Structure 1
């Protein structure tokens, strides 16, 4: 299992320690969001890890939509389906819903295909900040609160023309940020490319809260802190 060291599987129920979730964020997604630090007060398991587990357990379908409805903390045991027929819910034993998935089209369980798409998407998703979001915030002259940055991954959808590839890249196609008071909605549209041809596309949808007027000096400080944190981890 590609993801076995980033989760715990006990009688088909999957849970995560803070260390496992944080290691996935940093080592696989190159994501240093403070929400995934092991000592974070509002710690949450990366949504990309849940996405990766679904693909590994249920396969990759031509059309997939993932909608997140709750933050997963460490120690919560989740029920993941081994097969998805049209739709499925990821819940705990109390019936609380954390993620819904809808699928259509052909499905593949080819390991190389699934691993290639998973790695391409997770790497892209982990680089949302600062690589993409800072440019969007500068354009709209609004920014996240540096003392309490809240950027939540709400949904993601993908469409694939075919499932015959074994190597795929993800290329950013379009970005938008809509502001409503102190809240924002960011959409990152991307193409999926194999053998130099576009074979599909997708969109990552995020919510930003606690926005305030843009200050370049403050943004520079946030980026420096982020990069220093990454450098310290890598060293």
Structure 2
């Protein structure tokens, strides 16, 4: 599967190097957040890559809820397992949990269906900034710290009416940002479309940290840097 490029297996553990995580962010998600650069001191693996690996390994179910518990750094040995309570969790060697998943209903392991869904979902995630979050922050009069932009997954809910959804695309329905002190709680609701018909719903919750008053000039500079990094990545 296409995910082989973005992780490795060593001693029956999954490892994601900083380079692999960065490649996934840029090549699959179109995400150029500096926190996914391999030489970034605060580097973390994209949450979308953990989501993709879990679905590829355990299959796609009609209903799935992903809870993102901790940020994952460079080359941490990981164990993916289904526990006695039915939850799927990703652990490191110290039993720290990075993501856990609830699932129910019919499932499929068809790798073609799974890959198409992963690519559609992750490509839409890459549009979070600046396409979706910039106007949201502007409308609320807040923005993240431009020197340390931090946008983190909290959870994602997937509810499918069918597992046979060719050419899936996510269509943004509603987006909200609720400031709460120095953090902003973001909810993004999508319809999963397949050849013009609704095939399910997707809801994501994100946290934007380090909120401060919105400054249009500063935000414009952040957006310009984003596109410079994007152009540089494809040079």
TM over 0.5: yes
1:83-119 deviations in Å (ceiling 9; x for gaps): 9984211101221111110000100011121011100
The alpha carbon displacement at 1:65 in A equals 0.6
1:43-91 deviations in Å (ceiling 9; x for gaps): 0000000000011101100000111111111110111138998421110
| Secondary structure of 1:94's aligned partner | coil
State whether residues 184 and 209 of structure 2, in contact with CA within 8 Å, keep that contact through their aligned partners in structure 1.
yes
State whether residues 58 and 83 of structure 1, in contact with CA within 8 Å, keep that contact through their aligned partners in structure 2.
no
- 1:154 match: 154
State whether residues 63 and 159 of structure 1, in contact with CA within 8 Å, keep that contact through their aligned partners in structure 2.
yes
- 1:4 match: 4
What's the RMSD between the two structures over aligned residues?
A: 1.5
- 2:51 match: 51
State whether residues 57 and 82 of structure 1, in contact with CA within 8 Å, keep that contact through their aligned partners in structure 2.
no
State whether residues 58 and 84 of structure 1, in contact with CA within 8 Å, keep that contact through their aligned partners in structure 2.
no
Q: Measured at CA, do residues 185 and 137 of structure 1 come closer, stay the same or move farther in structure 2, by a change above 3 Å? A: same
Q: Measured at CA, do residues 16 and 153 of structure 1 come closer, stay the same or move farther in structure 2, by a change above 3 Å? A: same
Tell me how far apart the structure 2 counterparts of residues 68 and 84 of structure 1 sit (CA, whole Å): 20
The alpha carbon displacement at 1:24 in A equals 0.5
The alpha carbon displacement at 1:166 in A equals 3.0
**Length-normalised TM-score, structure 1:** 0.96
- 1:221 match: 221
Tell me how far apart the structure 1 counterparts of residues 197 and 12 of structure 2 sit (CA, whole Å): 38
- 2:139 match: 139
- 2:128 match: 128
| Secondary structure of 1:218's aligned partner | helix
How many residues end up aligned between the 2 structures? 235
State whether residues 59 and 83 of structure 1, in contact with CA within 8 Å, keep that contact through their aligned partners in structure 2.
no
The alpha carbon displacement at 1:11 in A equals 3.6
- 1:62 match: 62
- 1:194 match: 194
The gaps in structure 1 that reach 5 residues or longer are none
Which runs of 4 or more aligned residues in structure 1 lie more than 2 Å from their structure 2 counterparts after TM superposition?
81-86
List aligned pairs for 1:195-210, cutoff 5 A.
195-210=195-210
State whether residues 82 and 88 of structure 2, in contact with CA within 8 Å, keep that contact through their aligned partners in structure 1.
no
- 1:116 match: 116
State whether residues 79 and 90 of structure 1, in contact with CA within 8 Å, keep that contact through their aligned partners in structure 2.
yes
The gaps in structure 2 that reach 5 residues or longer are none
Tell me how far apart the structure 2 counterparts of residues 163 and 218 of structure 1 sit (CA, whole Å): 44
List aligned pairs for 1:5-24, cutoff 5 A.
5-24=5-24
